[in-house]
Amino acid sequence: MINNEKEYDLNFFRENNFVRKRCKSCQRYFWTLDKETEYCKSSPCVNYSFLEEKEKDIQIDEIREKFLIFFEKRNHKIIEPRPVLARWRDDIYLTIASIAVFQPFVTNGIIDPPANPLVFSQPCIRLKDLDLIGLTAGRHLTIFEMMAHHAFNYPNKKIYWKDETVRYCHELNTEIFKIDPYEVTYIEDVWEGGGNAGPCFEVASKGLEIATLVFMSYKVSNGEYIPMPIYIVDTGYGLERYCWYLSKKPSAFHSIYGDLINWIFNRLNLNSKFINEIVKEYAKNSIFITEKTLKEKSNINEKIAKKLGVSKNEIDDIINRIEAAYTLLDHSKCLVFMLADGLVPSNTGEGYLGRLITRRALRFIKALSLNIDFKELIEAQIKLWSHRFKRIWDSRERIKEIIELEIQKYEETLSKAYPIISSIIENVKKGKIKINTELFVDLYDSQGIHPDFIIQEANKQGVFIEYPYDFFSKVVEKHERVQKEKPKLDLPEVNNIKPTRLLFYEDSYLKEFTAKIIHIIKPKWIILDQTAFYPEGGGQVYDTGVLIIDGKRYDVKSVYKINDVVLHEVEEIDESLIGKEVIGKINWDRRIRIMRHHTATHTLLYSIRKILGDHIWQAGANKEESKARLDVTHYKKITDEEIEKIEKLANEIVLQNIPVKAFFIERDKAEAKFGYTLYQGGVMGGKVIRVVSIGDYDHQACGGTHVGRTGEIGLIKIIKVERIQDGVERFIYTAGDITLSEFKKIDENLKFLSANLNVPKEKIVEATLKLIKELKTERKEVERLRGILAQILSENLRNAKIKVGPVNLYEGIFINLNSDDLIALGENIIKKDKNSVVLLASNLNKPIFVIMTGEEAIKLGVKANELINILIKITGGGGGGREDFAQGGGGIFEKTKPAFSSIEEYLKHILVNSKIN
C-alpha cells in the first residue's frame, strides 16, 4: 500500500533526531524536530504565526534565483520552463504542475528527460480552485510558479530517492532561507495525478504549506496501483508561498506584486485607517476558508468586525473590495501569461478557459462598481513580468488588443442578458424550472450569464435564489480537459493482429503494390501484410482504388487504421481468401490532389502565422480531393488585405520549389530542434515521431502523404475565409489542377455576366457599378412612395381607432403590402401615439402579421410578443418578437379578423376589467 508507514520512515529522520507524531487536529502523521508540538504546523491546525513577525523586503526573483543555484551546485541542470499552454499534451490544455511537463512520455519511459537530475521554475495555471481565488489571501492562485527539482531513477541507473530529497529540502529551508528547523514539519500523505501516484510529504511551517515532495512510484489503472519501473522524484516548491512566508507580509499578493498592490488598493479606495489591520486579520482568518466552508465566510467578517470595533456592513464592504483587488491581480497576470503563449479567447477548448478568467475579472469590476481600468491593469502586469519572461513583452500589443475586444464582447453579452434573465425568473415564479448549480453552469456556457446577475434581479422581484458556491469549480471541471473524439471504427478483432507495413511512408508516389491477405473481418474488411492505401487520419481523407484478388476487382470504399493495423473496406469479402496474393492500385488522380492539398495546408499555415502572428494555432483541418480547409485560432476578422498577403506568401513558397522532406526522429530531439509548433496538427504518440519539413520554413509532426517539392503543389487559391465560431477562422482553398478548375468556373461566370450585361468582360465592373447606382436611386424612390403610402393608410386607421380603456387600438387588414410596408405603417402610428396598440396583416404570397405597442401601452402590461401568441393560436403559423414589436407569418389569412377580435377582448380583460385606467 502507498500509505504504509515504512514508505515514510527515512534514515534522514532517524539520523537527525526527528520524531514521528500524529496531529491532534487533523490526525495526520508528521515528522518534526519539535518534540513538544502536538500539531502538524499546517493550517487550519495552527494559525499563520509567521504573520506575527516583522515584515522583510524580499523579492520574488531573489527566491527563485537562490532555489535554482542551490540545486545547480548539487549537480542539477537548470532547464527552461515550458509555456503555460500544454501544447505537447493531448489530454489537458494548461500546464498544471511541473510534472505535467514530463507526462506522459518521460514518466512512462518512452523518452529520456532533458537532464537528470534537473531543476527549473515552471509557471503553472490551475483553475480548479477558482471559487477560492481572492478569498484565502493568496493560498490559492490561478497562476503560480512551481519551483521544482526532479530525478528519474531507472532500474539500471539510480539518481536519488527519498532520503536525499528530504535532505535537500531541509538544507534549502534551514541554510538558504534561514527557516528555524524546529518550525519545519514533514506531513505524510499520498499524491495522485495524471495517471501516476506515490507517497509524499507536505512541507509546512508556521501554518503555511510551502512545498510538496512526491515520490512517484505507481501507475494508476482502473483503481489499481501498479509499481512503475521508473521511480520519479517530483517536487513542488511554491514560489509565491515562499515569498509570502519569508517576507511576512499580510498577504501573498503584497509579497508578489510590490507597488502594484498599492496602486490597486488606492484605486479601490482601500486606504482607511483600519486597512492594514483588516488585511492582516483577514489573512489570519482565511485559513478556515475552503470550498466546503465558503458559505461561512460571513462569520469570519463578523469576527473581524468585533475585534476591530467596526460595523459589520463596513467590514463587508472593505473585504469585498480586498477580495476583488486580489482576484483582479491574480486573473490579470494569468491572462497575460495565457495570451502571451498564444491563447485566443473563445467559447470552446483552451479559449473557453481564457474567456472564463477574463469575464470573472470583469464581473468583479462591474458588480462592485470598481474604479479600475482593466486594460491599464493588464499593461501594468505586462511591464511587471516581461523582464523575466521575454515572450510577454514581445506579445504586448496583441495582448492589449485581445483584452480590448474581450471587454467589448462582454458588454455585448450583458446587453442581451436582461430578457433571458427575466424569462428565467418568470419560469422560477411559475414553478416551471428549479435553479441549481447545473442550470447555472449551462446558462453560463450557452449565454455567458453569471449567477450573480440572475440572483440580483431575482432579489428585486422578491425571489430568493441561493448562490452556488461551487459554481466555478463545476464550470472548470466541465472544460479543463480535452474532449477526445470517438474513433470512427472500433473492431476489437484487430488487437492481436501484426502491424501493417505502411508503404506510403517508404514511397508516397507508389501507385501499385502487391501484398498478402493476413486477416478478414466479415463482411467487408480486408487486412493486408502491407499497403500503399492511406488510412483516414490527421485530417487527410482515405485513399480509394481497387484490390485485385485472383483476377477479381474489389473496389476499396474506405480505409481506416486501428492501432497499427490498416483495414480496407470492400463491398463483401469471403474468409476463404485469407493468404491470397493481392495487387493494390491507388486511385492516383485522387491521391495526388489530396497530397497537393496536404502540403498546401502546411504551407498556408506557415503563411498565416507569418502574417497574423505566432498565436495562430491549428483548430482543425480537412484535406480532400476537391478542396481543403484549415481552421485556425484568431481573435478578430481577417481582412481582405491580410488574406491577399497570406495567399501571396504561400505561392511564393510554391514558386521556390523547395524540397518537402518527411523523416522519423526521436521526439525529444524534434522538440528541442523545432519547438512545440510541431504539434499544430495534434500530438503524435511514441518515442519516434514523423516530421514533415518544408525547407527551413515549416516543421510539423505529421502522418500524412505529401508531394516531394513545393512546386508540385501548383497555384494555391484561397476561395473563402469565414468565422465558424468566435475565435476560430476557417480557410477554404484549392491547389494544383483544382485551382485551374476554380478559375475556369470564375471565367464562365464572367462570360455569363458579360452576355447579360451586354458588355465585354473588361467592362463588367464598370457596368455593375452603374447598375448598383441605378438600383439605389430606384430604392430611394420606393422608400419615398412607401412613406407616402404609410402616411395615407395611417390617417385612415386613426379615423377608425378603437378605444380600449387607456390604449388606442389600430387594426388594418390588407391584400398586397409586404412586411416593410406594414412596419413603416406601424412606425408612423407609434411615433404619434405612445398609447397605441397596432395590429396589421397582409396576404402578399402568404399571410404576414405585424404587431406594435407604444411606450405607455407597454407600461400598462401590453406586450407585442404576448399578443402575437394570441393571434397565431387562431390563425396558425409562427411568430415572436419583443415587448414593442412582434411579427408572424403563415397560417390561414381568413382567420385574421377573429384573431384581432380575440386580442381586443384580451385587452379589455386586462385593461378595463382589471380597472387599470
| pLDDT for position 417 | 78
Q: Would you state the pLDDT for residue 917? A: 41
- If pLDDT is split at 50, 70 and 90, which confidence band does 321 have? very high
Amino acid at 156: N
More reliable by pLDDT, 743 or 691: 691
SS3 label, residue 887: strand
Average pLDDT over residues 18-34: 97
Per-residue pLDDT at 231 exceeds 90: yes
pLDDT at residue number 20? 97
- Identity of the highest mean pLDDT range in 30-39, 288-297, 482-491, 769-778: 30-39
Average pLDDT of the segment spanning 639-649: 97
pLDDT value, residue 50? 96
- CA distances (Å), origin 749, targets 518, 644, 720, 742: 52, 22, 17, 11
Question: Tens of pLDDT along 584-623?
Answer: 999 999 999 999 999 999 999 999 999 999 999 999 999 9
pLDDT tens for residues 192-230?
887 889 999 999 999 999 999 999 999 888 888 889 999
Q: Look at the alpha carbons of 628, 632, 635, 639 in this order and tell me if their dihedral is positive or negative.
A: negative
Given a cut of 90, whether residue 800 has pLDDT beyond it is: no
Please give the mean pLDDT across all residues of the chain: 90
Write b or e for each residue in 253-266: b if 16 or more Cβ atoms lie within 10 A of its Cβ, otherwise e: bbbbbeebbebbbe
What pTM was estimated for this model as a whole?
0.83
Query: What are φ and ψ of residue 130, in 5° steps?
Result: -55, -35
Average the pLDDT over 403-407 and give the result. Answer: 96
Q: How far apart are CA 620 and CA 558, in angstroms?
A: 21
What pLDDT score does 391 carry? Answer: 96
Distance of CA 394 to the CA centre of its chain: 23
What local confidence, expressed as pLDDT, does residue 475 receive?
A: 83
Residues 758-771: tens digit of each pLDDT:
778 777 788 788 77
pLDDT of residue 635: 95
Residue the block writes with cell 493550517: 43
pLDDT bucket at 826, cuts 50 / 70 / 90: confident
Q: What percent of the chain has pLDDT over 90?
A: 63
C-alpha 352/C-alpha 128 separation (Å) is 14
pLDDT value, residue 664: 96
Q: Domains in the chain, please, with CATH?
A: 5-249 (3.30.930.10), 275-479 (no CATH), 492-586 (2.40.30.130), 591-743 (3.30.980.10), 791-911 (3.10.310.40)
Average pLDDT over residues 517-523: 93
pLDDT band per the 50, 70, 90 thresholds, residue 656 = very high
Task: Check whether 92 has a pLDDT greater than 80.
Answer: yes
Please tell me the predicted confidence (pLDDT) of residue 37. Answer: 96
* CB contact set of 850 (below 8 Å; sequence gap of 6+): 819, 822, 823, 826, 838, 840, 841, 885, 886, 887
Q: Can you say whether the dihedral through the CA atoms of 119, 125, 130, 134 is positive or negative?
A: positive
- Mean pLDDT for 54-65 is 95
Q: Please write the tens of the pLDDT for every residue from 535-552.
A: 999 899 999 999 999 999
Per-residue pLDDT of 462-486, as tens digits, reads 777 777 777 877 888 878 777 777 7
Q: Which of 140-154, 685-699, 801-815 has the lowest mean pLDDT?
A: 801-815
User: What pLDDT does residue 916 have?
Assistant: 43
CB-based contacts of 51-58 (< 8 A; 24+ apart in sequence): 51/248, 51/250, 51/280, 51/283, 51/284, 53/248, 54/248, 55/247, 55/248, 55/249, 56/246, 56/247, 56/248, 57/247, 58/243, 58/246, 58/247, 58/255
The residue-averaged pLDDT of 512-529 equals: 94
Q: What sign does the CA torsion over 633, 636, 640, 645 have?
A: negative
Does residue 914 carry a pLDDT above 60?
no
